[in-house]
Structure 1
């Protein structure tokens, strides 16, 4: 059916189900000037934007627009905002080959978020199959993956750790594993490499604000230091004096906050990184630093160290208010099945004393049954866990 009143208009697209979402994705691109992928939160919309409240599919006749796709940021590091991308930038990382058409991708992200849209477009444009595994706990996700013979999975490191905790991940026959949205630490990359020695394992750096960044496929944490000079796939990198990582993508997103963009077209990722030998390693988000008596502690850096101790499955490090020091470091941990937490805690403390400064060492280790992840699949850093 044709809906001429939508031609050349800005449209709000609420998510109902994956099938309707993909139909609208195909129909509205090139037909509307802008499409806003409405998240579950009540994010204000610019005027005028027409609501698409039912499964209406617009069929372009002679109309062709350079459609901007507006995706909402998650709001984990500030007020949610709309960032606009065009299909050329959204699809620049799509890989097409005869082998890729045989894949069945598991969609573990919400499709109206940047990471989820990437999985949808990869499967759609490469001719691969797609299984919706975006809802339910890790066990339900694994059941669906097995049911539909999934061979490719894209998920956050937090979600991969939850899948590992089930003890059933090795039942899948995976040929492609992708990690994104959070820091991919060496411990996790090594575990997945052991389980799937012949699979293609890559961790992707991308964000709603910066768009598609880059993929690392050598099974090592961070990315090659030489990319700071040479760039990769048309993307340039820069580390400033405050350890912020800046990127200059081939396509500049629309509606970026001015403070995030410099005169040369570089975007401040607001991620902190450090040059270490031949690698650039991520430290965490600039807004997540814990201040202990004037000393800066990167929670993700401490988490990665704690995860090196065998028997530790998941970790959340955060700051707790202190009248003397401003904040103290605290860690919530999930133990592997069968691990004895008293012995583990002694190992953790010994490991910390060897590798951390005193102010970085958690003052308390809380053993919890599970850690909460948000709808994006990332660790919920504002959640309080039951001890």
Structure 2
């Protein structure tokens, strides 16, 4: 498959990158990408670390270096690459251009040697560039997962209808979910609006002002925007959920608010790439998809009731994940089969141990969110000397609900929990809070207080 730049060069219709105060045509960024190749021919076939600065520079760098460099490492902003990149990298180019950094360029004459060995600036790699994405954020040592342009765009859609869309970017672009939005917009000829900064009210206003019609976000991000009570004014025609469990409550809410929109939820991860897309308006996915040969991936359930996935587009197995003898990756997502549907219960790595019983916070949150007055919920563990841990919840109520009314709401919560949860799964305490924070990837932060 052609590189990103070659793909865009072959297109008749190209979109724009739209910021709050200005916009750039993709054609202009393509020209700049070609200038970078001509200005730095010695980067060809080298490994390069792109430190995120802003969306315009990031997209330009992707176009310049895919199909030109041997490998691309996508690094978080404001983090020194020398602190996060694998130790076995001996020769690495930093972008944006920086002074030589100790530990990254151990050979002081690296640049001059590369320049000496550089060939024709129009040369292209015979094999696809390896894209490396980190699984963690800006703290700790990230674990890198390899992809190719093909694996990253395996679910990208092309059609005349998509040309008129204006996508919003809510995720950080250097993360897998954000990169998916960026590539979908670029390759389909749609506009891309950067909405990653600001509080929910400011984000919704920008969505309105820029006439955004397509948006992808985690269920937690969608709930934050819905709580502004202004999202309905955004002319959305294409809605995607991913990164967390898309429960029936959030799917129903979005469907009711945007009856004309196409709503999909995507199962994907940095390790496995894009798994599958569900578009029938129901939580989970059909049981018939297990062991199906018609999907782009193969799915099955392990003895531990974990979802296993095998993608034909994955570049190579990663040390981050576990695989079985047939090459299926253990997603660490616990599932159950109910009424011919495979439903997600939660992450095996995030389970709360209550006296030897396993509690999945995501499952409890889904039950709490069935109460109409609760707009957002977070369930986490609180250490206990007897039980090991207890289940505690925080909830955000509808704006029109007063705290004094929570006594009655709590009765409804308790009734709902008793009907659907076992005793050890029911929260021992429920706190009312004004808001619930998400982590940098847009997912709910369940770190204990």
Q: TM-score per shorter chain, which class?
A: over 0.9
Is 2:279 the counterpart of 1:236? no
Secondary structure at the aligned position of 2:376 is classed as strand
1:28 aligns with 2:60: no
Q: Does 1:19 align with 2:56?
A: yes
| Contact residue 75 and residue 81 of structure 1 kept, 8 A | no
Task: Tell me which residue corresponds to 1:380.
Answer: 445
Alignment check: 8 A CA contact 1:31 1:60 kept: no
CA RMSD of aligned residues (A): 2.0
Runs of 4+ in 1 over 6 A off after TM superposition: none
Does residue 1:67 correspond to 2:110, yes or no? no
In structure 1, C-alpha distance between the alignment counterparts of 2:422 and 2:307, rounded to whole Å: 24
Instruction: Measure the CA separation in 2 of the matches of 1:143 and 1:12.
Output: 34
**Does residue 101 of the first structure (1) align with residue 125 of the second (2)?**
no
Aligned to 1:131: 193
1:256-307, CA deviations, whole angstroms, 9 ceiling, x for partnerless residues? 1175122322111111111112110001111111111111111100000010
Could you tell me whether the CA contact under 8 Å between 2:380 and 2:448 is conserved in 1? no
User: Match for residue 85 of structure 2?
Assistant: 44
Q: Is contact 1:273–1:283 with CA below 8 Å preserved after alignment?
A: yes
The answer to whether the 8 Å contact 1:177/1:200 transfers is: yes
Match status 1:269 vs 2:269: no
Task: State the Cα distance separating 1:146 from its structure 2 match.
Answer: 0.8
Equivalent position SS for 2:74? strand
Distance in structure 2 (CA, Å) of the matches to 1:245 and 1:291: 21
- Asked if 1:227 corresponds to 2:268, the answer is no
Q: 1:318, 1:329 within 8 Å by CA — same for their partners in 2?
A: yes
Q: Tell me the residue number matched to 1:111.
A: 173
Aligned equivalents of 1:290 and 1:206: distance in 2? Answer: 24
Matched, 1:347 2:412: yes
SS in 2 for 1:125: helix
Task: Quote the Cα distance in structure 2 between the aligned partners of 1:223 and 1:193.
Answer: 17
Trace 1:157-236 onto structure 2 (pairs within 5 A): 157-236=219-298
Q: Is the 8 A contact 2:239 2:261 kept in 1?
A: yes
3-state DSSP of counterpart to 1:143: helix
Give distance in 2, aligned partners of 1:356 and 1:259.
31
TM-score normalised to structure 1 length = 0.95
* 1:232 positional shift: 4.5
Superposed CA deviations along residues 220-258 of structure 1, whole A, max 9, x for unmatched, are 000011000315432100101101111010122446117
Q: Aligned residue for 2:105?
A: none
Task: Show the counterpart of 2:392.
Answer: 330
Q: Which moved more, 1:171-180 or 1:45-54?
A: 45-54
Shift of 1:80: 2.6
2:345 counterpart (280, 283, 294): 283
In structure 2, distance between residues paired with 1:81 and 1:199: 37
Structure 1 gap segments, 5+ residues each: none
Count of equivalent residues: 382
User: Is the CA contact 2:323–2:329 (under 8 Å) kept in the aligned structure 1?
Assistant: yes
The 3 A distance-change label for structure 1 pair 101 and 275 is: same
Q: CA deviation at 1:137?
A: 1.4
Q: Distance in 1 between matches of 2:190 and 2:157?
A: 11
Q: Secondary structure at the match of 1:230?
A: coil
Q: CA–CA distance in 1 between the matches of 2:397 and 2:340?
A: 33
Closer, same or farther in 2 for the Cα pair 1:193/1:302, shift >3 Å? same
Contact 2:332 2:348 in 1 (8 A): yes
CA contact (8 A) 1:82 1:255 kept: no
Q: Distance in 1 between matches of 2:317 and 2:326?
A: 17
**CA shift in 2, pair 1:381/1:79, >3 Å:** farther
* Bigger-Rg structure (1/2): 2
**Is the 2:143–2:320 contact (alpha carbons within 8 Å) kept by the matching residues of 1?**
no
- The 1:209/1:313 distance shift into structure 2, 3 A limit, reads same
